A and B are shown apart, each in its own frame.
Chain A
């Protein structure tokens, strides 16, 4: 397939008109979002853009006000807890913090999903864990404790755990945040290798523009709970929408806000959408 196009590939994630509120505040404003088979979709946006909320909805951790979220052909808004747990065996998540259990060794952390969800022999689990550690370049580290790992190694171990069940979809939350450029670039390479070798679809939430441009087949830019643009790296890079470019380059909100809107917000507390040509 051409990884640059989703037109001919079936969607493994299909979100339609997703709306969610926290109290009276609308957080997601009618999101339509597709991820194709074997696609790397990068989601970008500033603080409060809704990208973390979108991620939690895609993982079935929150229930929307309205809309549908199809994951691997099933609308997860209609699944019960047991059905959701079964479906999400095919989904791996690498959390920003790593989320490793500090009281368990690296190897025990990685085999945890297998121990919880399968009846595999212990020996099989251990070999699988060592294979995944080989893949993420942490061979021989299975007996270390998470506290003995560097930041980059924790991210790799988290990645190994996320792929231990050979998921169809992998979610990566800020995989390169807080890492030096060399380590971050190596993680980007790892994400590309995983997609190519394991036929996974990967959703990456990141602030890192360089990383996004390196790994993405397509980029979704979110702002104030709505999608500003979805496009290939070239389309995003060359788009002349100043809001998109400001978000990508992380220019401060103060620089892009409409003065009238800002004043109204200060005076009334209303957070209406800023309109920029």
Chain B
């Protein structure tokens, strides 16, 4: 399954799917960075992600940092339990804005 981008309520929604690992994370990274370049609020919907490794999380970190330099919003939604454990281990749960669901993310404007 391919990742995708769509816009709703003035927010770019990046929907990542399947495994985001050493093989596939470069595609996710490119999509995320391209999206952040548009200076719109971004919500990354992780509900369709079955596995995300640290290369995928590194891509999220890089995109988040780029969004900050551009002054735009960047948040994560529907983070799986396993991904949350990795974020917590690296203390990144205190860095990212994390919404329980995509709907919640959209209601907060990204």
Contacts and interface: CB of A to CB of B under 8 A. Distances in A.
Interface of A: 114, 117-121, 123-125, 127-128, 131-132, 134-135, 164-166, 193-194, 196-199
Interface in B1-34: 21-22, 25-26, 29
Interface stretch (B36-44, B53-61, B69-77, B102-110): B53-61
Contacts, number: 55
A193 to B, nearest CB: 6
Contacts of A164: 54
B29 A124 contact: yes
Contacts of A124: 25-26, 29, 55, 58-59, 62
B85 A123 contact: no
Interface residues of B, number: 21
A166 B26 contact: no
A165 B22 contact: yes
A69 B92 CA distance: 38
A108 B46 CA distance: 31
A120 B25 contact: yes
A118 B25 CA distance: 11
B82 A121 contact: no
A131 B25 contact: no
Contact of B91 (A114, A125, A134, A199): A134
A131 B26 contact: no
A197 B53 contact: no
11 contacts: A117-B22, A120-B25, A121-B26, A124-B29, A124-B58, A128-B55, A131-B61, A135-B90, A166-B54, A193-B89, A198-B89
Contacts of A194: 89
B85 A197 contact: yes
A165 B54 CA distance: 8
A198 B86 contact: yes
Contacts of B57: 131
A19 to B, nearest CB: 36
Nearest to A164: B54
Given A196-B85, A197-B88, 18 more contacts: A118-B22, A120-B22, A120-B55, A124-B62, A127-B58, A128-B54, A131-B54, A131-B90, A132-B54, A135-B89, A166-B21, A166-B22, A166-B53, A194-B89, A197-B86, A197-B89, A198-B85, A198-B89
